[in-house]
Amino acid sequence: MKKIIACLLGLFATTSHATNGINLIGFGAESTLMAGADVAVARDSSALNTNPAGLAQIDNKHFDVYGSLLRITDLSHKDQFGNDRHASNRYTGLGGMGYAQKLQNTPCTAGLGLFAQGGSGGVFENLNTAFGTRDEYSGLFAVAKVTTGLGCKVNDKWSVGGSFGLVYAQAEQKIFPNTSVPPDFAGISIKGADSLRTSFKLGIQYQATPQLTLAAAYTGKTELPLSGGQLKLNMTGAGLGVVKYRDVKLNGLALPEEIAVGAAYQMNERLLLSLKINWINWSDAMRSNVLIARKPDNAALPDILNTAAMDWNNQLVYALGMAYRYNDKLTWYAGYNYGKNPIPKNNSNPVVAGIFDHHLTFGGSYQLSSEWLMFAGIEYDFRKKVNYSNSDLPFADNAQLRNEAVWLHVMLSRRW
């Protein structure tokens, strides 16, 4: 059963260059096009992943399927060995879907959804190394979630909800795998490591006035210890060939604990404004990355134990969004999202490029018929540059990471 669930979620675990750390700024089109200012809006099936109390606003049936295409306009690594190279993975696609239905003769709505949750990744080919070779440095980390939840109206003002999910993560990494210069360096390749863990989210919404909605949501930490992979250690320079380790674990990665509060205000019959402040506990989720490799196929080699510091900072994310109903068919959306880069300067890594601070979104929805609704829009992640010296990486001092990206978001919804 675990393998079946992992295979299903693996379809949605496409590596993305997430934008609030390793988190996406929003889930589903309306959430994203309002730049993540969603906790007090949350009125489609993506409420499962933003604020499950919002499910209670659905009084019929909703089905939503969405997709996003990421175009990396500048994910580049520069160092003192003459490298100034753009990652080769310039395009990434991700998606999700959800279904929610009002339960008859109850004040509750239930839902089920699949979501690409976040991740990071970069593939840098043909880099000059300190050992006189040209080789690949890459890392891909992807997270997806299947979740079910329930949102209920307590009375005319209060709604509560909760969702429970299974989170699947997978990772692979290459650190100059074709380079072997004993005793200084042996290239590494890791693949096949994954994890399946549970998660939960709780939420409330309060209708303070007919125009003003207040809301809050809590997300529990989900640890993601990766196992089941294989590591290849390049020992050809020592005459030992490529040694395979059959028991590999990567510990220390997690989805963080989050506390979000927000408000939505219906200014008039056309204009809705929404605000969210989200505290993300990265300092607990991303402290260190521990690699453990055992059972080499050459008994002369020892087990591998390596710890790399991450020490991420906690992050406060501020999101402001608007929805303007232009007419009975067309609604415009826009939003701005700010969260200071949580990755310490000297723990930066070109394949964990969630360094963005500023994000801008714009788009719209169009009522195709009485049942069908189409959303489309763009997200721009403003260019960010970090100069760093990370002693855990093979780049020596004075490396540079640059990142800039544009997203296309679309969603098709049926409501009946």
In angstroms, rounded to a whole number, what is the distance separating the alpha carbons of residues 274 and 221?
Answer: 26
pLDDT given at position 397: 85
CA dihedral 318, 354, 44, 196 (to 10 degrees): -130
Q: pLDDT below 50 — which residues of the chain? A: 1-8, 10-13
CB 94 within 8 A of CB 12: yes
Q: What is the pLDDT of residue 396?
A: 77
| pLDDT tens digit sequence for 164-209 | 999 999 999 999 999 999 998 999 999 999 999 999 999 999 999 9
CB-CB contact of 403 with 380 (8 Å): no
One-letter identity of residue 260: A
pLDDT of residue 12: 47
Amino acid, res. 253 = L
Torsion angle in degrees (nearest 10) through CA of 351, 354, 357, 360: 100
Neighbours of 162 (CB within 10 A): 19
Beta bridge partners of 29: none
Residue 2: helix, strand or coil by DSSP? helix
Query: What H or E segment, with its residue span, contains residue 242?
Result: strand 241-251
Residue type (1 letter), 233: L
pLDDT at position 15, please? 52
DSSP string of 46-72? Answer: THHHH-GGGGGG--SEEEEEEEEEEEE
Q: How far apart are CA 220 and CA 223, in angstroms?
A: 10
Query: Would you say 120 and 353 are in contact if contact means Cβ atoms under 8 Å apart?
Result: yes
